[in-house]
Amino acid sequence: MFLVLTVDQRGFFDKRTDGWRKYHDVKECYRDLGSMTQKLLKRIRYHQKCHGQQQLGNEWFAVVEAHRSGWPHLNLCIYAPQLARDLDFERRRVLAYGGTARQSTLVSGDLLRMVVKSGWGVQSSAERARDREALAGYVTKLAGFSDAAAGEVAKVTQVPTAAPPKFRRVRSGRGFLPPRQASNEGWTGALIRRQVCNDGMPVVLPLHNVKPEHALNVVHACELEDQIWERERETLYRKRATVARYGPEAVLGPPVQYWDGGRLRPPEDPAALPP
């Protein structure tokens, strides 16, 4: 079962006053996402218990994304077979009565009440996942713009760039996702970013401090990325008519590339994917 939980930008339902309470800023909203998620999961479990259904355990995970405005929404996946069947029946009923595809996925009935009372907006949606591939595609939306600035990244990839420091974008039930595997080498690379300076000069810089023993590798990676960026700028200029009509993704190459042993590999090469 897959839910997209939105937040009303004017505020959220406040059970103390049965009205709307406004956020001072978007970061205040980010701080409430965790408690709002737990409240909804608790209400879902109570609903399942009251209706004799299998109660949700730790079989859930969520990914926080952002709208173009910077306000967050939550992609929540839970294992609830009975609720999923009810959703599928309701979706077919709405479509049979002439409703749109969007209307058929909007939360309604008991689920709508649970969603709103937990602080989420009425424009939230829920549907039964078609298969594993579709479920993975819902959550792992990747961008094709490797040279996007922070604001553009939020528009294309829905990365929550307005989130506070140390914000957990991926959440899950305890023990549901496998633990992260540490590298035996201890250090495997560095994060680098394309950046345009105040004087208009494009540069590629690391995002964190680099130890002296790794400085040469990082400099080499930055130089390589700068060359890739230069070729992309030339391509965008030469094919500016196509870009104006179809967008940059129509002329740029693979969105992600891997540096391995002195040569570039496209992401579709299985050997290029990191373990």
Quick: pLDDT tens for 217-241.
888 888 988 988 898 888 888 888 8
**pLDDT above 90: residue 24:** no
Q: How much is the average pLDDT of 158-182? A: 75
- Indicate left, alpha or beta for 234 from its phi (over 0: left) and psi (-120 to 50: alpha): alpha
Does residue 138 surpass a pLDDT of 70?
no
pTM: 0.60
Domain that holds residue 164: 2-172
Q: Are 4 and 125 in contact (CB under 8 A)?
A: yes
pLDDT at 38 over 90: yes
Last residue of one domain, picked from the residues 142, 172, 202: 172
21: confidence class by pLDDT, cuts 50, 70, 90: low
Number of domains in the chain: 2
Q: What's the mean pLDDT in 155-164?
A: 58
Mean pLDDT value across residues 249-270: 53
What lies within 8 Å, CB to CB, of 59 at 6+ separation is 78, 79, 173, 176
Short-list 11, 21, 74, 78, CA closest to 47: 78
119 and 239, same domain (yes or no): no
Q: Is a pLDDT exceeding 60 seen at residue 262? A: no
pLDDT value at residue 115: 93
Residue 179 placed within a domain: no
| 203 & 160 share domain | no
The string of pLDDT tens digits covering residues 183-221 is 666 666 777 888 888 888 888 888 778 888 888 888 888
Tell me the CA distances in angstroms from 47 to 62, 87, 105, 173, 256, one per residue in order.
Answer: 20, 14, 20, 19, 43
Q: How many residues does the chain have?
A: 275
pLDDT tens per residue across span 41-76: 999 999 999 999 999 999 998 888 877 667 888 889
**Highest mean predicted confidence (pLDDT) among 235-239, 244-248, 256-260:** 235-239
For 262, other C-beta atoms within 10 Å of its C-beta total 7
Give the C-alpha distances (Å, rounded to integers) separating 196 from 40, 165, 201. Answer: 42, 23, 6
d(CA 248, CA 46): 48
Residues 115 and 228 in one domain: no
Shared domain for 49 and 130, answered yes or no, is yes
Nearest partner of 32 among 2, 7, 57, 53, judged by Cα = 7
Least-confidence region, from 75-89, 104-118, 145-159: 145-159
In a domain, 181, yes or no: no
52 lies in the same domain as 165: yes
State the pLDDT at residue 150: 35
Same domain (yes/no): 48, 145: yes
Angstrom distance (rounded) from CA 160 to CA 192: 18
